[in-house]
Amino acid sequence: MTSLTDEYSLLAPGPVNLHPEVRKALALPMIHHRTPEFDKILKRVLAGIKTVFQTNEEVYLLTATGSGGMEALLVNILSPGDKVIAIVSGKFGERWAEMAKTFGANVLTIDVPWGETVKVSDVEELLKKNPDTRAVLCQACETSTAVAHPIKDIAAVVKNYSETLFLVDAITALGAYEIPMDAWGIDGIVAGSQKAFMLPTGMAFVAYSQKAWKFVDQAKCPRFYFDLRKEKKANGAGETFYSSNVAIIRALDVVLNLINAQGLDKLFHDIHRRAEFTRQFGQKLGFTLYAKSPSDSVTALVVPPQMDGQKIRLHLEQVHNITIMGGQDQAKGKIIRIGHMGYIRDYEQVRLIECLGHTLRHFDPDFMSLEHVSNIAQEAKNYLEQNP
C-alpha cells in the first residue's frame, strides 16, 4: 500500500503511530534476555511501568496480545463454577464474557446497548442478588463503540464485597486518561503495548491488587503459560519466567522515559485535546457522535445517511494514506473509529479532517463544497494553534 518514504498516518484505535525514538530502539541489534545488560533494562521497566498504572503493586509483562492479558486476569483467580458478572456493551465485552464461560465460570451478563454506558445501579443491583460473585468484568473503554464506562464508581460498589474482585480491561484506556489502579480500588487491570504505550502489538501488561492475590493460590482454572505466580517469582529474581520480548521491552524502556519526562498530566492532556478536536471537527463535517459517554482514547463517528463507513475508511486508506477503523458487527458500515493515542502530530489531525471532507465529497459531490472543506480545514488548523 505504501512505501517507507510515503506520508502515512496510522490513526486507528490501535496499533498506533510509533514515536521516532521507539523506532530507533526497535532497530537496535538483538541482545539475549539472560544478560546483565537486559537485566538492567528489565529492572527499570518493571519499576517504571507502575507509574502509568498508578499502583504500588507489581506489574507483569506478558508476551501476548491484550486478549492474552484478559485471559491471564481470569485464570489466576477463577475456579470452574465461580460466578462472574460481565458488562457487555460491545465486541470486547462479549469476548471477555466468552472467555470466562470457556473456563467454566457461571457468567451473568449486564447487556448494554452499543454506544451507551453501563448504569452503576444495574451493577449494584445484580451484586446484591449475587453476593457470592467472584469477579465483575468491565472495559474501561469499549473499543468497538468508543464508550468510556464509569470505572471509579463501579469500583466503589465492588469494594463493599470482600470476596468479589473488580477486573478492568483498560487496553484502550490505560495511559490515555486517568485510571489510577490503587486510588480507585481496581483489583485487576490489563493494558496492551499497541495502544497508549505506542509500541508494536505483542505484549500485555497486567497487575493485581493485594485483595486479588489472596485468591490466586486457591483458583482451580487450568493455567500454565499465564500462571502469574511463575512471573512473580522470576521477576523477584530480576528475570522473566519465559523468554523475554527483548525488542518491545527495550522500546518500552524508551516510552517510559518519554512519559516520565513529560508527566502523566501532559500525556493525558494531549490525548484529550486530540479527542476534543476530533469530536468537534468530525461533527462540523456532518458526522455525529456514536458514544453517549465518549472516551478520550478513541472517537466513534456515525457516518452521514446513505454512506458506508467501510467504504469511507477504505477510500481514506487507499487514496490518502490514512488508516482509521470502521465499525464491527452491528455497527459495521455505520461508524468510523479514530484513535487518539500514539505519536500524532497536529498536521496529521488537520490532514485527517481535510481528507475526510474530500472523501465524503467523493461519495456525494453535493454533500459539501470544496470551499466548505477548505474552510473547515483552516478552522481546524486555527483551533490547534489556539489550543496548545
User: Over the stretch 263-283, which tens digit does the pLDDT of each residue have?
Assistant: 999 999 999 999 999 999 999
**Measured between alpha carbons, how far is residue 282 from residues 191, 276, 323, 328, 350 in Å?**
28, 10, 16, 20, 11
Confidence at 67, pLDDT banded by 50, 70, 90: very high
Average pLDDT over residues 325-339: 97
CB 228 within 8 A of CB 206: yes
Q: Using only the alpha carbons of the chain, give its radius of gyration.
A: 21
Assess whether pLDDT exceeds 90 at residue 383. yes
- How many C-beta atoms surround the C-beta of residue 352 within 10 A? 24
Confidence at 3, pLDDT banded by 50, 70, 90: very low
CB 34 within 8 A of CB 238: no
Which of 288, 258, 254 lies closest to 270 in space, CA to CA?
258
User: Looking at the chain, how many residues does it have?
Assistant: 388
CB 55 within 8 A of CB 70: no
Phi, psi of 178 (to 5 degrees): -65, 115
Phi, psi of 63 (to 5 degrees): -80, 90
CA angle 107, 110, 114 (to 5 degrees): 125
Q: Is the pTM of this model over 0.85?
A: yes
Question: What structural domains does the chain harbor?
Answer: 9-16+264-386 (3.90.1150.10), 31-261 (3.40.640.10)
Assess whether pLDDT exceeds 80 at residue 4. no
Average pLDDT over residues 165-180: 98
Residue 91 has what pLDDT?
Answer: 96
264-284 and 370-386 are packed helices; what angle lies between their axes, rounded to 10 degrees? 160
Which of 126, 31, 41, 45 lies closest to 88 in space, CA to CA?
126
Average pLDDT over residues 288-317: 97
346-363 and 309-320 are packed helices; what angle lies between their axes, rounded to 10 degrees? 120
Phi, psi of 212 (to 5 degrees): -70, -40
Residue 6 has what pLDDT?
Answer: 56
Residue 129: how many CA atoms within 13 Å on its side-chain side? 9
CA angle 325, 13, 169 (to 5 degrees): 130
Helix, strand or coil for residue 75?
helix
Assess whether pLDDT exceeds 70 at residue 2. no
